[in-house]
Chain A
Amino acid sequence: MDYLTAFLAGGAICALAQIIYDNTKLTPAHILVSFTVAGAVLGGFGVYQRFAEFAGAGAIIPVSGFGNSIVMGMLSELERLGWEGLFTGAFEITGLGVTTAIVFGGLMAVLFQPKD
């Protein structure tokens, strides 16, 4: 059942992005940034977590979930440290993913040549 909700929720977010992409002049970079910001803002108001409770990976895996993770890190560090948490929290959860992207991205660049 959680696989079905993940499929439907994740698919719906991507379909929404596709509608925006096909009907505006925005580039994929603009859309990625917009969805990340939307996830962060909705996360700050507690809306995204409620969505994630039922959508599972369908909410976590799109970049909006990544934006939400930035805010979740800040809020959990805020609780632990006070104001310093606003500055340390951004990579509390996402740091794992960002470092993975750098390590694996660098590794792939060393191992493989781009196809033309």
Chain B
Amino acid sequence: MDKAQKDLHARYQQMVKEATPQPNRWKNLVMAFITGGVICTIGQLFYNLFEVIEPSRLETTAVTQAAMIALGAIATGLGLYDWLAERGGMGAAIPVTGFSNTVTAAAMEFKREGYILGMGTKMFVIAGPVLVYGILSGFVVSLLRAVLTGSLF
């Protein structure tokens, strides 16, 4: 490569760099914070409601998570969650509503490949790893704790 070619290459790289849209990190951060915060505030509303009827904290937690998962699925079906995810980024992805969104979106998308081999196999295409690694890591720490406290038998 002679010098002229090198210069051209450098200029081209510079142009590519300028043309590539830079993610607006501060805006993304604020939007994620607000979106995630609002979703959790709605979750708190459910929690406070279910706390009155459910007998234990674990059950209140279970019902609250399930209610938000149902809400996430409905919002996805109506096409509202895409709108939210576009703006909220990780603020829409990280709450369990986002987990639910991946299940419903995959179910809707792959339905066209058939109900068994499309929807059935691909519904958990993203949520599957979440369950697998959640359970694997949970199993390891729970086993460790059981061994240390001697509560295995």
Contact partner, A101, options B36, B37, B103, Cβ 8 Å: B103
Measured CA separation A41–B141 after assembly (Å): 6
Cα–Cα distance between A99 and B151 once the two chains are bound (Å): 30
Quick check: A111 and B77 within 8 Å, CB to CB? yes
**Residues in chain B near residue A105, CB distance under 8 A:** 73, 100, 103-104, 106-107, 123
Nearest-Cβ distance from residue B121 to partner chain A, whole angstroms: 13
Contact present for A93 and B43 (CB under 8 Å): no
C-alpha spacing A44/B1, complex, angstroms: 58
**Size of interface on B: residues with Cβ below 8 Å to A:** 83
Residue of B31, B38, B95, B138 with highest tally of chain A CB at under 10 A: B138
Q: Which residues of B from 137 to 153 have beta carbons under 8 Å from A?
A: 137-146, 151-153
B64 and A57 contacting across the interface, CB-CB below 8 Å:
yes
* Given A33-B129, A37-B134: A7 touches B37 (CB 8 Å cut-off): yes
1/0 per residue A32-44: CB within 8 Å of B?
A: 1101110111011
Residues of chain A with a CB closer than 8 A to B93's CB: 17, 28, 31-32
- How would you classify the secondary structure of chain A's contact residues: helix, strand, loop or mixed? helix
The reply to whether B95 and A112 contact each other, CB–CB distance below 8 Å, is: no
B13 at the interface (CB under 8 A from A): no
Please, which residue of chain A has its CB at the minimum distance from the CB of B104? A105
Q: Please state if A65 and B65 are interface contacts (CB–CB under 8 Å).
A: yes
**A21-51 interface with B by 8 A CB criterion:** 21-23, 28-29, 31-33, 35-37, 39-41, 43-45
Q: Which of B95-153 contact A (CB under 8 A)?
A: 95-100, 102-109, 111, 119, 123, 126-127, 129-131, 133-135, 137-146, 151-153
Chain A residues in the interface with B (C-beta under 8 A): 2-3, 6-15, 17-23, 28-29, 31-33, 35-37, 39-41, 43-45, 56-58, 60-67, 69-76, 78-79, 82-83, 86, 89-90, 92-102, 104-115
15 other A-B residue contacts (CB within 8 Å) besides A37-B134, A105-B107, A114-B108:
A10-B43, A11-B36, A14-B95, A21-B90, A29-B129, A31-B93, A72-B58, A90-B135, A93-B62, A104-B100, A105-B100, A107-B77, A108-B73, A110-B111, A115-B79
